[in-house]
A and B are shown apart, each in its own frame.
Chain A
Amino acid sequence: MDEAATTPVEIPLIDIPAGKFGMWVFLISESMFFTGLIGSYIVLRLGSESWPRPGTILNTPLLGLNTLVLLSSSLTMALGLNAIQQGKQRQLKRYLLFTALLGSLFLVIKGCDYVHLWRHGFTLSSSLFGSCYYLLTGFHGLHVLSGVILMLYLVAAASRGAFAASQHVRVESSGLYWHFIDMVWVILFAILCLV
């Protein structure tokens, strides 16, 4: 079904494409999901008699590096959007690939971190902190994974020449999603590793 037939957009509430509007609604809902998880973490932690001091269990430098990896992937995403806004399709494709690669690197480091922690007896059921750590970072990791798949899908679409300077709603809304999971990670890093 072509888009013009289904979208007689005349007086939208906010003057942005429906795809971007829908993405914002989805992200509001996503932030409520993480609010549920993070809020539970805070309540469980404040209600516990003892809690491990930051830096005693988690490998803060490694996770800090991972934060940098994800932050730079947001940069490449933004550069990609900038490229297609100027109609540079090849550059868009390159930046999207970079973003996917950095996302995958994040997941690989995350995996090493999991294996290391698990071998040292820090598991899902070893303590409440363990449960919270794997739950929060696990759900975040799943979001990064879907983001990487989304990026690869965009790369495929870009190869077919699906985007142009005047037509890049999907790139823009996927970018919103990517920045969102980036931001969630920054919050997770702060509350899990730093405080």
Chain B
Amino acid sequence: MEQSQPRSFWRRDVFSTHHKVIAIQYLLTGVMFLAVGGVMALLIRWQLAAPWQPVPIIGKLLFREAGGAITPEAYPMLFTMHGSIMVFFAVTPILLGALGNYTIPLEVGARDMAFPRLNMVSYWFLFLGSASMLASFFVPGGAAGFGWTIYAPLSASTEMLPGWGQDLFILGLALDAVSILMGGINYITTIMQLRAPGLTLRRLPLTLWGLFYSAVLNTLWLPIVASALFMVLCDRRLGTAFFLAGPLAPHAGGQVLLYQHLFWGFGHPEVYILIFPVWGLVGDLLSVFSRKPAFGYKATVLSMLTITILSGIVWGHHMFTSGMNPLVGKAFMFLTITVSVPTAIFFLNWLGTLWRSAIRLTVPMLFTLGVVFVFAIGGLTGLFNALQTFDVYIHDTYFVVGHFHYTLAASVLFGTFAFIYFWFPKIFGRQMSSRLGKLHFWLSFVFLNAVFSVMMFVGLHGHMRRIADATAYEFLKPVQHWNVFIGWAALGLGLSQLLFFFNFLYSLFRGTPAPANPWEAGSLAWTVPSPPPEHNYDAVPRIWCGPHEYGVPGLNNGDWLSQTDPRAKALAKS
């Protein structure tokens, strides 16, 4: 069944309902915001390394009134916007929007998502949301400054932060939430209902499992934070007092702590929302480049399911110091530590896949191994944080910042790069430069570890997060030189990303044309040409085996099977 291509540019490339076009829109939006959020991180590190000094090169442009230096008002805006932009407008669009939209229909053998029009609307809600976020920089009073957690009462009262930038920020997040929810409905429905014949649940690539669980968590928990955000907005502009009490409230007032419960009820699942697609991708890529079936496929999927369930009941560990009954705290501590059991299961499965295998050290594989490494560090330091007694000591310090960035920033960033380097040939039909990619990996790996491991050490020394000037504290003066060190390492990390941008743009136009299956991957998407035709599959494909049939003995030609290879049927019979 051939489909005619829409003629006009606007319908084909801008307001498109086609999943591959929408995926590229998500990808470009996400990469752009990755750059914006990254520059903000560099500005934060500049301020900490050289407090109140004029920022070189771009300072004159950004902070004209202060002679190029970051002002005390601008600093909270920087860390707020850095966090929110990275989480909601860089990583989410890339890992859910781009990875999900591109791979799901291709890997299940469908021609598009279940609801193509909803898919288009979903992207444009993200677009509106990001416009609202960016607009907040240009209104009087500047962008939001209450931290990415939007804690009440600071966020809920206009007495402290009167600017409309705060409201635009909340509106932007709400629009983004609607966008993610629409995407989630599409992902869940497509993965569950549109699978091609033979593609049973046990034959799904792990990436799709990751995306599925991530969408499930979004469907369940994002609405909770959306309801809280609306209440914050009402408190700010309509005179209610859900999260205000005492002199800030017009009457008896509501409960400040309630906000934290609602926020973390979503906030904790959010880390799994971001990391699940990466975990799935890592499971698949380790198998492809180890030329071995994914070890413990079923256990991996079940442990992700277990984490999906557990993630909804551990939010209290973010609030140990917020005034929580110690007994309730112990329950949350116990549940949190329980999460490490399924996490350890699939982590060992990754190692099991690698064990005694013929590893091909391609660029995506390097980044995949990078994820395995940084996630090990992030996961292990997470155990510390889960302990109530230890958390009281390190709460609100750079130890938590370092831990968070290892689990999320580092592993998610490496996962993002693994995704882009692996899928680039399929998406754009050209190969990215392997030499530049390897250089990009090693530089990123070294600098990233330098930045985030040192953060944990200064955190153990007591370095608070969100302070603009460590030199103002006598006890932090001995570690100030480490802030300078992190500043240099962060600059190195930022500059090494230029290699990626160059590689991306260069390969887009000049890269060597890619064959249909440059990685010899088994999953369905790699059976069609690169880039795939508009309708993906000429006929509905039939699937005979799982996506990880590598190292199959007894084949007369090659040692691995594609999911559509009918030889799998014969092998299963014999």
Partner of B111, one of A8, A22, A28, A35: A8
Give the chain B neighbours of A195 by CB distance below 8 A: none
Question: Is B234 part of the contact surface with A, judged by Cβ < 8 Å?
Answer: yes
Q: How far apart are the CA atoms of A123 and B238 in the complex, in Å? A: 10
Say whether A49 contacts B192, CB under 8 Å: no
Question: Is A131 part of the contact surface with B, judged by Cβ < 8 Å?
Answer: yes
Question: Is A36 part of the contact surface with B, judged by Cβ < 8 Å?
Answer: yes
Chain A residues within 8 Å of chain B by Cβ, number: 44
Measured between C-beta atoms, what is the minimum distance from B150 to chain A in Å? 15
Measured between C-beta atoms, what is the minimum distance from A123 to chain B in Å? 8
Question: Which one, A12-20, A73-81, A157-165, is touching chain B?
Answer: A12-20
Question: Is B219 part of the contact surface with A, judged by Cβ < 8 Å?
Answer: yes
Question: Is A56 part of the contact surface with B, judged by Cβ < 8 Å?
Answer: no
Q: How far apart are the CA atoms of A29 and B223 in the complex, in Å? A: 6
For window 306-364 of chain B, which residues contact chain A by CB distance below 8 Å? Answer: none
Say whether B109 contacts A37, CB under 8 Å: no
Q: How far apart are the CA atoms of A117 and B241 in the complex, in Å? A: 19
Question: Is A47 part of the contact surface with B, judged by Cβ < 8 Å?
Answer: yes
Say whether B224 contacts A35, CB under 8 Å: yes
Give the chain A neighbours of B195 by CB distance below 8 A: 10-12
Q: How far apart are the CA atoms of A126 and B112 in the complex, in Å? A: 51
Q: How far apart are the CA atoms of A5 and B221 in the complex, in Å? A: 33
Give the chain A neighbours of B231 by CB distance below 8 A: 40, 135
Give the chain B neighbours of A40 by CB distance below 8 A: 227-228, 231, 242, 258, 262
Say whether A22 contacts B115, CB under 8 Å: yes
> Total contacts A to B, CB within 8 angstroms?
150
Question: Which one, B180-188, B291-299, B440-448, B463-471, is touching chain A?
Answer: B180-188
Question: Which one, B35-43, B53-61, B249-257, B562-570, is touching chain A?
Answer: B249-257
Interface size class of B (residues with CB under 8 A): 35 or more
Partner of B535, one of A5, A10, A21, A127: A5
Say whether A22 contacts B189, CB under 8 Å: yes
Measured between C-beta atoms, what is the minimum distance from A43 to chain B in Å? 5
27 pairs across A/B with beta carbons < 8 Å?
A1-B112, A4-B1, A6-B110, A7-B110, A8-B110, A11-B200, A13-B201, A18-B115, A18-B194, A19-B115, A22-B115, A22-B186, A25-B184, A25-B189, A33-B226, A36-B224, A36-B225, A36-B227, A44-B258, A47-B254, A47-B255, A50-B252, A127-B252, A128-B251, A131-B234, A131-B240, A132-B242
Other A-B pairs beyond A10-B197, A40-B258, A128-B241, 6, CB < 8 Å = A5-B111, A11-B197, A25-B184, A32-B220, A33-B224, A131-B254
**Residues in A lying within 8 Å of B, measured CB to CB:** 1, 4-14, 18-19, 21-22, 25-26, 28-30, 32-37, 40, 43-44, 47-50, 123-128, 131-132, 135, 139
